[in-house]
Chains A and B, each alone.
Chain A
Amino acid sequence: MSAPPGTVTAPAAATTAGAVRLAHRRPLRIGRVSLLLRPRGLAVTVTGLALLLLLTALHLRLGDIPMSLSEVVAAVLGGGTGGARLVIMELRLPRALTGALVGAALGVSGAITQAIARNPLAGPDILGVTSGASLAVVAATVAGGAAYGGAGGVLAAIGIPAAALAGGLAGALLVYGLAWRRGLDGYRLVLVGVGVVAVFTNLKYWLLTVGDVNDATRAMVWISGSLNARGMEHVVPTALALAMVLPATLLGTRTLAVLRLGDDTVRGLGVRIDLARGSLLLCAVLLASAATAAAGPIAFVALAAPQIALRLAGVAQPPLVVSAVAGAVLVTGADLAARTLTPVELPVGIVTAVLGAPYLIYLLVRTRRARGAI
């Protein structure tokens, strides 16, 4: 059934230059396997990792006892003086690793949330994770105040992250349950999320008001998001969470790309939309909960990292791997600043909040101009 020549001329398809036009997609094809490589995304990732390495090295060198690079290298490789090994391996390295891992988890979590909510202003905060975790930690600290003071480090080291994890998951479950109405609507999710966050936040302040002053102060440090005194007991769970959830998330990359289209379009492309959205959101919640359990709620990283990543990578939606690297660099850089730039060490969450506020305003203004990101 071919038409006679000449009757059919597509307006602009005069040439056969199609292959050239699609040239920025460079697949690696081996037999039936084909992988899409994005040179720019790859370059950004490599540059970001180099920057991360640099910041980590600075992290290990700077502090109350400055170290030379050779001392740092020696200590990391298992040599050096006992004192240097203690400072680097027991204090600075776990802190730096926790920061990088938490940043990576927050970056990926934010990328997923923004893609699913179809909104650059969405983040795991909107899913109730951070506020749920904060509320749980404040509740645990205030309720168990005297006990913590007496029981000391062990209970605090395990109890606080456990409370954070449970609170984060419960918060997300509540938001998801309330937003679900024969399916999930991104707009509805954001609205319900904002409401739940407001309730949690106010409950948290109420608890801080009624609680003991010492407990409240201790809880305040945690809910600002701090990497102070983080050890391997923080590194390992966060690393495990990333190792388990990240591969699953990466498998969902293509689906995530499609989920940004309208619901009917997504269904028409053969995606089981509720299943896909639910499982990807679960990944986002797990990552954010793990990150919050390890470091408290570090503001703005999950919001900013994906947006920075997509601009650097030059793509239309937050790329997962680049978002992870951007998040890691952000947290590591902010913690370095928190440790070294001010006379008194600040919680890292304060630095990211100070950096993040202007960025959030910029995003709001830009979104208003671009018309309807929601």
Chain B
Amino acid sequence: MRLQAVDVKLGYGDRLIVDGLDLGIETGTVTTIIGPNGCGKSTLLRALGRLLKPLSGHVLLDGRHIHRMPSREVAKILGVLPQAPAAPEGLTVADLVARGRHPHQAWYRQWSAGDEAAVEDALRMTGLLDLAERPLDELSGGQRQRAWISMALAQGTDLLLLDEPTTFLDLAHQIDVLQLVSRLRDEAGRTVVMVLHDLNLAARHSDRLIAMRDGRVVAAGTPHEVMTEPVLDEVFDLEAKVIPDPVTATPLVVPIAIRPRPTETSTPR
């Protein structure tokens, strides 16, 4: 396990979102964090990616405290794709993807052969070679998301954290992105941690699932272990039937209704 969280407390200012959480990410797998809005998924991902410093506890990368490592060193091991990233006007796909090489560059090493190869590979893997010189603003939502993933790929890190990489995409583009994630694991041996909302896609494209609610982990394990009717009830208050996916035999969630909880006071956000 190269990435671990040990008893982390996370929050912004006075607001505590995650209160003491332990987690380990299996190397070479795709792990997906699921849970209702506001359960702390993105906060946890940001902490794992060194974007947010835990209030207490620590995140370990290769056994070292991630917040005590030099930023640049972390950026060579761990890549992060934030939720709905913003791109400056006029930037081309190639410009954006080339930015991913930043941790490997210096003023005297601005565009090495390695940079060029990495950017080319990243563009090829995401199917964007032909669009390399197009401005990002001219691309479709799916293409743009692929460009951002391509930038994270060009960074050349073994670990990749993707925060809702399929948001705003239509179903075909969602599947396109998730197939790309599977290829990253299979072909490049990358470890991927992501946040997804679609439970069936998460079950189908992940090796491991982590189900969260109110800042704590309710269940973690394989999709078969996590995607069960009791867990769905506890995490989402969702009455559902879980059947085997006719294509992949992974769990398939058929929602029935939201169950009002008698003890519930308010939905935590």
| Interfacial residues, chain A to chain B (CB-CB below 8 A) | 1-3, 8, 10-13, 15, 17-19, 21-22, 24-25, 27, 29, 32-36, 118, 182, 250-251, 253-255, 257-258, 260-262, 264-265, 267-272, 316-317, 370, 373
B124 touches A13 (CB 8 A): yes
A270 touches B74 (CB 8 A): yes
- The complex places the Cα of A262 from the Cα of B51 at a distance, in Å, of 12
What residues of chain A lie closer than 8 Å to B187, measured between beta carbons? 1-3, 8
What residues of chain B lie closer than 8 Å to A11, measured between beta carbons? 127, 176
- The reply to whether the CB of B95 lies closer than 8 angstroms to some CB of chain A is yes
B130 touches A261 (CB 8 A): no
CB < 8 Å neighbour of B186 from A1, A34, A251: A1
Count of chain B residues with a beta carbon within 8 Å of a chain A beta carbon: 61
B110 touches A35 (CB 8 A): yes
- The reply to whether the CB of B247 lies closer than 8 angstroms to some CB of chain A is no
User: Could you list 28 A-B pairs, sorted by A, with CB under 8 Å?
Assistant: A1-B187, A3-B187, A12-B127, A12-B129, A12-B130, A12-B131, A13-B128, A18-B132, A19-B116, A19-B120, A21-B132, A22-B132, A27-B111, A29-B112, A34-B110, A34-B112, A34-B115, A35-B108, A118-B88, A254-B110, A261-B85, A264-B80, A268-B49, A270-B72, A270-B74, A270-B75, A270-B76, A316-B95
- Which residue of A is nearest B79, CB measured? A268
- The complex places the Cα of A305 from the Cα of B129 at a distance, in Å, of 34
- The complex places the Cα of A254 from the Cα of B91 at a distance, in Å, of 15
- Best-surrounded residue of A1, A255, A261 (most CB of chain B within 10 A): A261
Q: How far is the CB of A194 from chain B (nearest CB, A)?
A: 21
Q: Given that A35-B108, A257-B99, A269-B75 are contacting pairs, would A264 and B94 also be in contact in the complex, using a CB cutoff of 8 Å?
A: no
- The complex places the Cα of A254 from the Cα of B105 at a distance, in Å, of 9
- The complex places the Cα of A18 from the Cα of B117 at a distance, in Å, of 9
What residues of chain B lie closer than 8 Å to A265, measured between beta carbons? 80-82, 85
B89 touches A370 (CB 8 A): yes
B90 touches A271 (CB 8 A): no
B86 touches A262 (CB 8 A): yes
Q: Given that A8-B183, A22-B94 are contacting pairs, would A264 and B85 also be in contact in the complex, using a CB cutoff of 8 Å?
A: yes
Q: Given that A10-B124, A270-B74 are contacting pairs, would A316 and B86 also be in contact in the complex, using a CB cutoff of 8 Å?
A: no
B89 touches A268 (CB 8 A): no
- The reply to whether the CB of B171 lies closer than 8 angstroms to some CB of chain A is no
What residues of chain B lie closer than 8 Å to A254, measured between beta carbons? 102, 105, 107, 110
- The complex places the Cα of A265 from the Cα of B86 at a distance, in Å, of 9
What residues of chain A lie closer than 8 Å to B186, measured between beta carbons? 1, 3
Q: How far is the CB of B155 from chain A (nearest CB, A)?
A: 7
- The complex places the Cα of A21 from the Cα of B120 at a distance, in Å, of 9
B71 touches A271 (CB 8 A): yes
What residues of chain A lie closer than 8 Å to B189, measured between beta carbons? 1
- The complex places the Cα of A316 from the Cα of B137 at a distance, in Å, of 12
- The reply to whether the CB of B87 lies closer than 8 angstroms to some CB of chain A is yes
B120 touches A22 (CB 8 A): yes
- The reply to whether the CB of B145 lies closer than 8 angstroms to some CB of chain A is no
Chain B 45-95 residues near chain A, CB threshold 8 A: 46, 49-51, 70-76, 79-82, 85-92, 94-95
What residues of chain A lie closer than 8 Å to B126, measured between beta carbons? 10
- The complex places the Cα of A370 from the Cα of B136 at a distance, in Å, of 13
What residues of chain A lie closer than 8 Å to B109, measured between beta carbons? 32-34
What residues of chain B lie closer than 8 Å to A34, measured between beta carbons? 108-113, 115
- Which residue of B is nearest A10, CB measured? B127
Q: Given that A11-B127, A22-B120, A118-B88 are contacting pairs, would A267 and B50 also be in contact in the complex, using a CB cutoff of 8 Å?
A: yes
What residues of chain B lie closer than 8 Å to A33, measured between beta carbons? 108-109
- Which residue of A is nearest B74, CB measured? A270
Given contacts A27-B110, A29-B113, A35-B108, 7 further A-B contacts (CB under 8 A): A24-B133, A27-B111, A34-B108, A34-B111, A268-B80, A270-B73, A316-B89
